[in-house]
Amino acid sequence: MNAVHSQILILGMAVLLDLVLGEPPTAVHPVAWMGSVISFVRKRAPRQGRVWPFVAGLLLMLIGCTVLAVGGTLLLRGVANLPQPLALLLTALLLKTTFSIRGLWNAGREVQSVLVTGDLPEARKRLSWHLVSRDTSSLNESQVAAATIESLSENASDSILAPLLAFAIAGLPGALVYRFINTCDAMLGYRDSEREWLGKAPARLDDLANLIPARVTALLLITAGAMMLQNPVRAIHVWCRDRRRTASPNAGHPMSATAGVLCVELEKVGHYRLGSGFRLPDVTDVVRVRQLLLITAGLACMGAIGLILAVNGGT
């Protein structure tokens, strides 16, 4: 089996492991280890001024990315000495930890299941536990549904397509480096007094890492919507009109595309409104966005396989 076939097989095995097993326990999850390191640095990083917090964040990114790139390469060399089936399985297990399809699908189901019963306080809790970092205590039912749709749409890029593309281009080390960058941004990329300058480098590097994936994800979401018999022309129109209305240069792309696909208005009060003029979302749209997520994930996997073949000359 040549390297290209092995890489495609690893990708397929990783996706299958994700769909069947879901997330591994926190104690053995590499992303949880990354989070522990980031928390350690956050607690000990300088907080006064701008320069030293910025330098601390920059060093975190440089050292962390280097360690994961080198470590991932050494891991691959180590498992190469094992019997091939075991080597492929171990690599697939590691790759699986860099993305999450089942986890996102289940997170949406957690919110959906309580919205159906009308238990708004519990829906708010589950939304904050599983999907968003914002304060959910005052959200109404439509806003909870909108936040769920927004999070699943954005994470279709951050937690599915982007790591798969990183793997297709740079193998397991590339996927691990991407996941570290994205985790740093998720934990440090806030404009509060403590993290604004510490998280500046992680946030900018994450913006760069997601520049292409966010836009490709928007196209995949629109394609998935067309497969669900939704109007792609309408979705493209909303995407082109609203994609720059978020503070993030990337998040607006998949979210506005989804607003156009589902024909709903997505608003984060005081920040943005996507799909203006459409109806407000409800629990039925959470059901639809979960279906959209699965189809988009399938398209992302096919796209990653195509990229593997393209990078390697189709061999």
- For residue range 4-21, list pLDDT tens digits in order: 999 999 999 999 999 999
Give the distance from CA 167 to its chain's centroid: 14
Tell me which residue has tokens 């399809």: 101
C-alpha–C-alpha distance, residues 161 and 229, integer Å: 22
Distance of CA 241 to the CA centre of its chain: 23
- Higher confidence at residue 107 or residue 133? 107
Which of 133, 152, 166, 159 has its CA nearest to residue 31? 159
Average pLDDT over residues 177-185: 97
One-letter identity of residue 274 = L
The range of the structural domain enclosing residue 180 comes to 3-311
Query: Which pLDDT belongs to residue 315?
Result: 63
More confident residue, 192 or 232: 232
Q: What percent of the chain has pLDDT over 90?
A: 92
314 confidence band (pLDDT: 50, 70, 90): low
pLDDT, mean over the chain: 95
Mean pLDDT of 70-79: 95
- Closest residue by Cα to residue 10 from 88, 104, 69: 88
| Phi/psi-derived region of residue 171, left when phi > 0, alpha when psi is between -120 and 50, beta in every other case | left
Q: For residue 42, is pLDDT > 70?
A: yes
For residues 92-103, average pLDDT:
97
Arithmetic mean of pLDDT, 187-198: 91
CB 113 within 8 A of CB 234: no
Give the number of domains in the chain: 1
Between residues 80 and 150, the one the model is more confident about? 150
Contacts 24+ apart (CB under 8 A), 233-239: 234/260, 234/263, 235/260, 235/261, 236/260, 238/274, 238/275
